[in-house]
Amino acid sequence: MGKRSAWALPYFIFLVLFVVLPLVLIGVYALTDADGRFTLANMGAFFTDPKIINSFLVSLEVALENTVICILVGYPVAYILADKSLNRSAVTAVLFILPMWINALMRTMATAEIFNVLGIGLGKGTLLFGMAYDYLPFMIYPIYNILDKMDKSYAEAAQDLGASPVKVFLKVTLPLSLPGVASGVMMVFMPTVSTFAVSEILTNNTIMLFGSVIQEQFNNLMWNQGAALSFIMLIIIGVTTLIPGNKNSETVEGGATV
């Protein structure tokens, strides 16, 4: 028994080396200057450089809108897919992940080109459409998983107790599926904030998301400044995922088994 627990050791070492140490390095680079001396200047730039803070606020706004769109569009899809009376075949569910096998940048290019052909100008609207298009599967799957595994007798019990179909959904199904929504939000919100490339294509470089700012700084060899912005994102992720308690570790699991 004792011996088999040691099999986790190589992965533990790997995690320390390739996950923990790199994250620590982000902090180290964020708080030092090019010569390795301690400084708060990089972090300060976030609050003082209007270009950076603006792009951060825009990113939050886009991410929030994208998340809401993904929930509104994705929840019904997940619900229909999971309902055996509406959808009998597992193949339909597979059709929703299939596009992920086509390169995301390529799909984005094609989307932008369709807008071009239709004569729709690239901007905020097209950005939101493209983002929702990219992240929809990440919202559908955690919700689908939890709805699919949900014990049908909960809903039946509610019906038995006199709840109308609408009430059954609002009082039973929806609350029980919230963990799936939560992990969907986790897989959509932060990645949207940090997107780059996709936003460049979809807005013709008119809207710069936070990810693009970070990427630009690394491109310009401003590693410490880039690290500082990454560090700020990391702190936000840490705060949002750790504060709700260890419940998240479970919802993430549910979401990851696509």
Partner 1 sequence: MKTGGRIVAKAYLWLILIVIYAPIAFIAVFSFTEAKSLGNWTGFTFNLYHSLFTGATSNSEALLVALKNTVVIALVASLISTVLGTLAAIGIYNLSGRKKKTIQFLNNIPMLNPDIITGVSLFLLFVFLHITKGYTTIILAHVTFCTPYVVLNVLPKLTQMNPNIYEAALDLGATPMQALRKVLVPLLRPGMISGFILAFTMSLDDFAVTYFTAGSSGIDTLSTFIYSDVRKGGLTPELKPMMTLIFLLVLVVLLVVNLRSFRKQKQLEI
DSSP annotation of 32 reads: B
Output the smallest distance, CB 180 to partner 1, in A: 15
- 125 lies in the binding site for partner 1 (CB under 8 A): no
Give the nearer residue to partner 1 in terms of CB position, either 176 or 234. 234
User: Residues 169 to 188: which contact partner 1 by CB under 8 A?
Assistant: 186
Residue 146 half-sphere exposure, CB side, CA atoms within 13 Å? 24
Output the smallest distance, CB 82 to partner 1, in A: 12
Output the smallest distance, CB 53 to partner 1, in A: 18
- 61 lies in the binding site for partner 1 (CB under 8 A): no
Give the nearer residue to partner 1 in terms of CB position, either 176 or 236. 236
Tell me whether residue 52 is exposed, middle or buried, using C-beta atoms within 10 angstroms of its C-beta: 0 to 12, 13 to 18, 19 or more.
buried
Distances 235 to 30, 64, 126, 212, 251 between C-alpha atoms, Å = 12, 18, 30, 19, 20
Which residue among 85, 160, 162, 166 contacts partner 1 (CB under 8 A)? 85
Q: How many CB atoms lie within 10 A of CB 121?
A: 11
Largest CA distance in the chain: 71
Spatial CA neighbour of 68 closest among 168, 136, 143, 19: 136
Which residue among 55, 67, 111, 199 contacts partner 1 (CB under 8 A)? 111
User: Residues 129 to 158: which contact partner 1 by CB under 8 A?
Assistant: 133, 136
Q: Give the number of residues written for the chain.
A: 258
Give the nearer residue to partner 1 in terms of CB position, either 123 or 191. 191
- 71 lies in the binding site for partner 1 (CB under 8 A): no
Give the nearer residue to partner 1 in terms of CB position, either 57 or 97. 97
